[in-house]
Structure formats: structure tokens, C-alpha cells
Homo-oligomer: A and B are copies of this chain.
């Protein structure tokens, strides 16, 4: 499941605290060219292996910034006199790996731009309704087909006898499931638990409205009373990447399986998952976080109806435009896996697996150069989809600061790396969660900075 919530504030605080007046803010163009802001000024710099090329034509983008003439002149003078910034400038770049913004797949989709373009005219998809014969009446039939096909191709989830409910990302579906599973007239709110370290947004999403239906009851390992409960099982787990089973095993429990990362670029697929409520999202499967499309596979029709009701009240359905687009993208992924139609092009999961494997190799090499950090180890298993034998390649690195560093998040911030500290996941502050899904140059900066900290 996608996440962040802490991000923006952190960036600003860190930037202000650390950079002593030279503040670089990073945004992105469509062509992956970061735009840096220096005080009130903007300058486009093309980064290819840190070869910064000042582009004088683009320095002044906002003509209203007349007050900054002196600063601008100074910057122009600096950048025009050399091709690369000095080491101090690279070190002062804040890289934000707090959230899991899945920009790393962008290159793959650029290669497939032509066949995956969606055209929508203004008269299309006007109605609230998609299919009044479906329990989830706002779900586009084309998306139902695309999801069903992809699960069959990958073999990661049973779809037979399931109702599919579409959501505005899987966050909304998590809340819809809580609504559907909590008794409407219970004497006290339903307990919601997950084994620590758990996804940092679960407590927030459960409690932000102080609901009388459900309440966050913390670490599933510590939940041992006799009350009814809902247990979230995230597998592979966010933040640490391990395969999970339910922990409480009580007879009054209901399970929600968050399978956002149960895809073959992150983990060996062992069996088609066959649980009562399973959550997925395009954010992590194909990298389309901006579309806000998730789906739930739900065994019980009444639960699916109640989840649909939640989304009806919450947002009166889910963007048709994004559903249409997600259907096209999921079909393209299935097409890419269909060897008969493959035209010798790499499948999406081949591409993404190789990228994840390469990144994990580089990260482990970087961490092994220092005694400051450690990473989890995962057992090797054989993936039924790819036939490959490998250990987990999680979307997040669950990094531990060894030795005397007790607050790993603050320690990394001193080196301009923004991560999310262990306390947000119900764990020790010796841990941080680091996104592995960033763009290449951010990941490269990470792997260069980690071993350098030991010096």
C-alpha cells in the first residue's frame, strides 16, 4: 500500500536546517530533468551521472522575480563558469526517500508509450455509473477484465468466485474494509491490529476521524485479550519486506490481506493468494501512483456491497478516467508477459525484477562497505511465475543503524537523506525505512553517501 504523510514538512525542515542558505528544492519535468530552486531562483540542470550542465536559457523562468536580480546574476556567474558543481553542492542535495513514490518504472513505460496511450474525449465517461449489474456499480468492466487477466497471468491471487471492488488507491479500500467489517452497533469500537513493524499509515487511517466503529489497537503480537479484532496482514510486509502470516490466531478475528507488494519484481510468487479480502494497487504493481487506483478481491458478497457503500458515501465512486487508463496499463503488462505476443520485448516483470535485483545488489554492496548499517536477509525461494530462485527484493529497505546511533532517521538527515524512522512503524528508532523506488540518480546518491559516512 502506498504511503507517506510525513514527507513535505520533513523536507523543508531538513533543507532549512542543513543547507545554511543554499537551498536546493527538487521538482521534476516530464523528461526526468530535475529543476533546482536556489532561493527564489530556478535553474534546470540535466543530471547524467552527476554531469551538471547549467542551461542559461532556462535560468529565468519567472519574469516576475525582478527583486532577485542580484542573486540571479550571482548564480549565473557561478554556473556559467564550470560544467559541474563542487562536492559541497552535491552533498547538500536533499534526497527524499521517505515515501514510496514509484518513479523508477517510468523508463519502461516510455518505451511502451505508443501502445499504452489513452485518448479520452470530453463526452465520454460522463455518468456516475459504470455497470449497474455489478455489486461495485462504479467499476469499469474493462478494469474488471484487466485485473482478472493479470492475476491469472501472474498466478498471485485467486479471482474465481471473488467480487472486485475498485478504490481510489488501496488506502480507500482499507478504510472501506474496516467500515464493512466493523459491527455498526457494537458496544465498543472494533480493535484493529497488525504485527510490528507495521505500515505507518494504518494507525492514522484507522483513527483520524475518531470513529466509533473501529480503533487502532497496536502491535498484533501484544494483542491477547478476548475481544473481537481485525488483523491486517501485509505480505510482503511494509516496511521490512518479509512474508507474513496472521499473528493473533484468535477465534474472534477477521483478516484483511494487504498484498500491494505480492508481485514478482518484489518477491517469489509461491501460490495464488486465496484469502477473504485481498488488497492490491497499481501504485506498486505498475508504478502508477498518480492514478490512485486500487482493487480488492472479496469473497463475501455482503462485504463487497458494504465496501462499495463506503466508497459511495466517501467519494461517490472512483475516477472513470483513471480506471480506463489503469485497464490499458494492466492489459499492457499482461501482453508483455504473453510470450506469443512478445516480439522479443522485455516483459514488465522481467524489467522491474532486474532493476530491483540490481538496486538491492548495489545497496548491499554500499552497506557492506561500512559497519554503521545492516539490512535484513531473506531466504531464497523459487518463483512460480518466473522460475527464478531469489530472496525478497522489497520496495523499501529496512535499514538498521548499528553501534551507538540510536536515532537512525536523524543520523541520515545529517547527511541529507530523508527517511522514515522506526517509531512510525511501531519499532525501534534504530531502524529507518528507505524507498527503493526512486529515480536512478537519487538511488545513486544514496549508495554513494551510505559508505562515505563511515569516513
- Per-position contact with B for A155-184: 1 when CB-CB < 8 Å, else 0? 000000000000011011001000100000
How far in angstroms is the closest Cβ of chain B from A12? 9
User: Does A208 interact with chain B (Cβ within 8 Å)?
Assistant: yes
Give the residue of B8, B102, B208, B315 whose beta carbon is less than 8 angstroms from that of A132: B8
User: Does A79 interact with chain B (Cβ within 8 Å)?
Assistant: no
Give the residue of B30, B179, B209, B312 whose beta carbon is less than 8 angstroms from that of A213: B209
Chain A's interface size range is 35 or more
Bound Cα distance from A160 to B372, whole angstroms: 52
- Per-position contact with B for A76-115: 1 when CB-CB < 8 Å, else 0? 0000000000000000000000010111011101101100
Kindly report how many copies of this chain are found in the complex they form together. Answer: 2
The reply to whether B128 and A109 form a contact with Cβ atoms under 8 Å apart is: no
Give the residue of B123, B287, B288, B293 whose beta carbon is less than 8 angstroms from that of A110: B123
User: Does A441 interact with chain B (Cβ within 8 Å)?
Assistant: no
Give the residue of B118, B213, B319 whose beta carbon is less than 8 angstroms from that of A120: B118
The reply to whether B314 and A314 form a contact with Cβ atoms under 8 Å apart is: yes
The reply to whether B175 and A314 form a contact with Cβ atoms under 8 Å apart is: yes
Bound Cα distance from A35 to B110, whole angstroms: 39
User: Does A204 interact with chain B (Cβ within 8 Å)?
Assistant: yes
User: Does A210 interact with chain B (Cβ within 8 Å)?
Assistant: yes
The reply to whether B127 and A290 form a contact with Cβ atoms under 8 Å apart is: yes
Given contacts A209-B179, A211-B212, contact A127 B292 (CB under 8 A): no
Q: A4-B316, A130-B290 are known; give 8 further A-B pairs, CB within 8 A.
A: A25-B133, A105-B126, A116-B121, A117-B120, A169-B317, A212-B212, A293-B319, A319-B319
